[in-house]
Chain A
Amino acid sequence: MKSADGFFDSELIARLSRLELVAKRIVDGFLAGKNKSSRHGFSVEFVEHREYVPGDDLRHLDWKVLGRMDRYYIKRYEEETNITALLVLDASASMTYSSGTLSKFEVGATAAAALGHLLHRQRDAVGLAVHDQELREFVPPTAKTFALASIAARLKGLEPGGKTSMKEVLERVSLELPRRCLFVLISDFFVSQEEIEASLGFLRYRGHDAVVLQVLDPDEREFSFESNILFKGLEDARQLLTEPHRLRERYLEVLEGALGHLKKTCEGCGFDYQLITGPEKISEALAKLLAQRARRRKAPARNG
């Protein structure tokens, strides 16, 4: 169920709340959050219980609760730090494409809001940057209570348009942020491979962590058109008259190549990547993303 501001799906957030968004790297934070700090805190204390999920370390299982209630709970007691996260949402014209009820922009905004809410609940600082070829909206990261309302207010009524330009936007907002930050990039990434490599390389160079959420419409993923169609570009005046079924095979090859390149670039930079194909896939994609990050958390930190 969506919230009144249109993007905060409570049901989605409830499902996601059982997972933890953890930075793979050790980042510094102002608040005692749930991210493992590189610096040991003032104490090691119990924080809360949460239900056991497959993959959790059995050393943290609360045996007393298990004995009393016959249920599996994990004890959270480690010292945790806050992180600063910036949700970077693409609002270019290509994000307006929709084959169903929601456009890619709306799907991306929903995913951004869900992640923002989750981070906020963890008392992490959350900010928002909306861009096309320029930075259109910017909410500096904050852990204050109004952070989510501020983000929702900026997203509401936003009309996507213009071309996509990512690197300049990231360079600009990085100037506004602390040294290390978690960038959540939400876009269809319909830009050149060079720009993708430059953008992600920039973040990696500046020591930021990043989560890449690529949003595609089912049409773009499947390309199941039949009759003759004149395709008109959303971001420019290019157009193509073709028989889609004759082109489908090659189109999918090109698309897979582009997706593979993006994924590979993310892996090269140590960033997480997840593909969201349509509104129905948001929760599934975010769940996978968080599980992926949880697994990485257990792995030895590269810097630690």
Chain B
Amino acid sequence: MFVNGLLLWGLALAAAPVIIHILNKRRYRVHDWAAMDFLLAAQVSNRRRVKFEDLILLLLRMAIIGFLVMAVARPVLRGLAGWREDSRVVVLDDSFSMEAVSSTGKVFDTARESAISQVQDALGGSIPVSVWLGSRPGREVGKVEGQVQGGVVDGGSASSASAGARASLAGRDLLDSLRDETTSDLSLDFPRILRKLIDEAKGSAASIVRSVVLVSDYRGRDWFEEDGSLRDSLAVLFEEIAREKKLADSFNFQFVDVSSGSLDNTAITGFSIESDPVLAGVPVRIAVEVTNYGKDPRVRVEGDIEVGGSGGDEFVARHKIPLPMIENIAPGETVRVEIQHIFIEGGEYPLKASITPDRLVRDDVSSLVAVVRDSLAVALVDGAPSPNRFASESGLLVAALSPRGDVPSGVSVSLIEGEVEAKELENADCVFILNRSKLSVSEREALGDFARSGGGIAYFLGNKVNVDSYLELARPSAGEPALFPAILKEPGSPGARHFDFGDFRHPTLELFRGLKTSSFAHVVFRRFFLLEPLPGARVAGSYDDELSTPAIIEGRYAPSLADTGAGGDGKTSEKDGKAADAQPEFDGRGRLVVFNTTADRDWGDWPTDYTYPILMQEWVRYLSRRHSWGRISQVGELLRLEKKPGVNYRIESPPPADESAGAPAPVRWIRPGHGEEYRPELAGLFRVAASARPGILEAGESARWYAVRREDSESDLGECDGESLHEALADTGIQFVMGGNVDVDAFRRDQEGEIWRWLALAAGVFLLVELFAAWWFGRKV
């Protein structure tokens, strides 16, 4: 392939020495000569040598012209000096850390320029090139396949039909797209890129050598584990490449390091609200954690929390609460500061925390959404209703959860009579099933949907309970998890028993924790069932009988709540609260709990004890769905949108930070019911509105806020040097070259297939040889 292919016609000039030689032969003078015998004798013995010398000189002269013409035509070889290149994949690291600013500007800008140079270089060499984004492997910026005419990418016309012209246009588009690229808040996902490349190489029948050019800041976190070894996800892939010869021959790795050199960075790595759900009028603590990732202490860090208004289309700070000043943060240390705040009324409140900005500004801001409830809604399903409110289970529970008086408990109770229907559970945070003999199929479906949406279900037992029916509830069916977290057995032996809460570590027992004598010591239970928790469930409290019969069992409406059948021995279940702490935290989504007693005084005195309303109210808060949960997610994760049929969501991304003020926020429509999903690539506050008509936001539709956070580790700018990388990759057998900053010329010199310099050099050498040969052949003149 030649850059200036038309100049190859100049190779015809190589015939010039032959023509000149022939013409010279025709130019002579006639001379009479006497010593013809001697002359002819000399000629006979000299003819071969002269012809040979003539041939050598002619070939040398033709070669000189040939080399010069070829040099001007600029041939491009793929695979000079062992570096063959059939295609080039430029991976531009657009991860969050690339947003850092160095003395020469933003690191990403440097990386982008380097990537553009790489693309232009490939286009100039007619090498097919594609550009991928390091944090978004699924999205390809663009590619140019085939040949580019003369490496010109800024010219061409739309009417041109040739493949070269089309490639030129594609090259121009690719460069334009590349220039428009910005960073995401995601992490570099080089393992996924490698996986994709490997799969492509494996699927390709042709033997194609790809140059993989990764332009990145080469953070240590992207490459190494805590112990300094290569990340497992990378090591496995590199070893796979090195292990299979076809793969090893398919890749040349070139790492362009554009790191800024400075590692200092301080970031907000935590922004949380202590309780969820948040109740209006109830003080809550809001915490901010700041981590110093630099090598020097960070002093006098100031910050504040902005509380946006409930409602509205865009974030408007209603309150700005200053954070306590952090005097000093040692390198590697995280400091937590808290403020207390009261949300006066219910609603959704977007919050922003920010600290004094540094070289990486975007991680000096974090966001949060607080869903504040005026009260928690509890639905009661009474299996043995009675008009006497102090004799019925529901009556005592209503009194415990929502006692009459001037001080509201923050819990509103509704009573469901008859069949439990989904509609009645719509606004409930949790539902209590009291001494219900059994649940119908439709009730189980309604309760299953309720639990799946995050609502909590509490069971009180009693005389009416049908054991077989509850065993059925404890058994998953048709892919649905168990609705009851325990195996119900026969009634236990009667006697005066008490609660045994151990060291009161369950969150609902926090108020009773640390007291000298148990507040529950005087509460007597006369009857209860023998129970066994399902695997995955845990015992929150026991009775003090010989068997330590579970008094409270909690589980979660999730596949992890396993089915062991009615005869399961429950060996894997947790027997006390201490062991339960080792389990993953229950996030309140679909919690199930069984109180192994009645909600009235039939089996014990507890419903009339003062601890009953306290503990019940705590359990309501514990069981209630977490309204703020689901509003906070990580970049790259699915935005948790309800998959309601026919519901479309209008998602308004946070406005770009570096765009001019007033620029409209990017908007996107998603239809989860049609399998569409949305994974935010930027952190910040997203506003999501539901609409029945796609593309049209109906008036009065309420919108919800979502806070999207980035991975904390992205703020750690600690770099991995080339030597460490060489050592780490040496074990995998992967060879690569690594260059600093934007020294793409160095790479180009190493890798490019252009050999015009060599041809020009060869022409020069041949010229010297020709001069020497001509002198040598005629040296005795």
Contacts and interface: CB of A to CB of B under 8 A. Distances in A.
Contact of B46 (A228, A231, A247): A247
Contacts of B53: 246
Main secondary structure of the interface of B (DSSP, over half): helix
A254 B28 CA distance: 24
Given A190-B37, A228-B24, A240-B36, A251 B31 contact: no
Interface in B595-639: none
B43 A225 contact: no
A220 B30 CA distance: 16
B28 A230 contact: yes
Interface string A228-251: 111111111010111101111111
Interface residues of A, number: 38
B405 interface: no
A235 B31 CA distance: 13
Interface hub of B27, B34, B41, B53 (most chain A Cβ within 10 A): B34
Contacts of A241: 25, 28
A205 to B, nearest CB: 26
Interface string B19-40: 0000011011111111111111
A255 B40 CA distance: 11
A94 interface: yes
B423 interface: no
Contacts of B516: none
A188 B35 CA distance: 9
Contact of A97 (B32, B41, B42): B32
A238 B41 CA distance: 12
Interface in B228-259: none
Contacts of B46: 246-247, 250
A244 B36 CA distance: 13
Nearest to B35: A220
Nearest to B30: A230
B29 A228 contact: yes
A291 B43 CA distance: 38
A258 B780 contact: no
Contacts of B781: 226, 245, 248
Contacts of A190: 34-35, 37
A58 B287 CA distance: 139
Nearest to A229: B31
Nearest to A225: B31
A228 B30 CA distance: 9
Interface string A85-123: 000000001111100000010000000000000000000
B25 A228 contact: yes
B55 interface: no
A248 B781 CA distance: 7
Nearest to B38: A254
A147 to B, nearest CB: 31
Contact of B36 (A96, A225, A233, A258): A233
Contacts of B777: 246
A303 interface: no
Given A229-B29, A242-B43, A254-B42, A97 B36 contact: no
Contact of B32 (A225, A232, A250, A258): A232
A234 B31 CA distance: 10
A231 B150 CA distance: 56
A238 B36 contact: yes
Contacts of B662: none
Nearest to A94: B34
Contacts of A3: none
Given A248-B780, A249-B780, A238 B40 contact: yes
Contacts of B24: 228
Nearest to A164: B34
A227 interface: yes
Nearest to A97: B34
A190 B39 CA distance: 12
A253 interface: yes
B50 interface: yes
A258 B38 CA distance: 8
Nearest to B779: A249
Contacts of A94: 34-35
B104 interface: no
B38 A255 contact: yes
Contacts of B28: 227-230, 241
Specify which of A190, A233, A235, A248 lies most central, judged by the most chain B CB atoms within 10 Å of its CB: A233
B778 interface: yes
A140 to B, nearest CB: 30
A251 B33 contact: no
Contacts of A93: 34
B33 A97 contact: yes
Contacts of A253: 42
B50 A246 contact: yes
Contacts of B440: none
Given A97-B34, A248-B781, A231 B50 contact: no
Contacts of B34: 93-97, 104, 188, 190, 217, 220, 233-235
A231 B33 contact: yes
A95 B27 CA distance: 28
A230 B38 contact: no
A141 B20 CA distance: 61
B36 A247 contact: no
Contact of A227 (B29, B33, B43, B45): B29
Given A230-B28, A230-B30, A230-B31, A250 B42 contact: yes
A66 to B, nearest CB: 51
A231 B25 contact: no
B31 A232 contact: yes
Nearest to B36: A233
B45 to A, nearest CB: 6
B33 A233 contact: yes
B69 to A, nearest CB: 29
A250 B780 CA distance: 10
Of B25, B27, B43, B777, most A-chain CB atoms within 10 Å: B43
A233 B781 CA distance: 23
A194 to B, nearest CB: 13
Contact of A240 (B25, B39, B45, B778): B39
A59 to B, nearest CB: 47
B33 A234 contact: yes
Interface string B737-752: 0000000000000000
A184 to B, nearest CB: 21
Given A228-B27, A230-B28, A246-B777, A251 B36 contact: no
Nearest to A226: B781
Which of A229, A230, A251 has its CB near the most chain B CB atoms (within 10 A)?
Answer: A251
A188 B33 CA distance: 13
B503 to A, nearest CB: 113
A246 B36 contact: no
A231 to B, nearest CB: 4
Nearest to B24: A228
A251 B778 contact: no
A93 B508 CA distance: 140
A241 B33 CA distance: 12
A258 B42 CA distance: 12
A217 B32 CA distance: 13
Contacts of A235: 34, 36
A254 B29 CA distance: 24
Contacts of A243: 50
Interface in B763-781: 777-778, 780-781
A105 to B, nearest CB: 11
Contacts of A96: 34
Contacts of B31: 225, 229-232
Contacts of B29: 227-230
Interface string A47-59: 0000000000000
6 contacts: A97-B33, A188-B35, A233-B36, A234-B32, A246-B50, A247-B43
Given A190-B37, A220-B34, A236-B36, 5 more contacts: A96-B34, A247-B39, A247-B43, A254-B42, A255-B35
Question: 10 nearest interchain CB pairs?
Answer: A94-B34, A228-B28, A250-B42, A251-B42, A233-B36, A245-B781, A231-B33, A97-B34, A250-B46, A254-B38
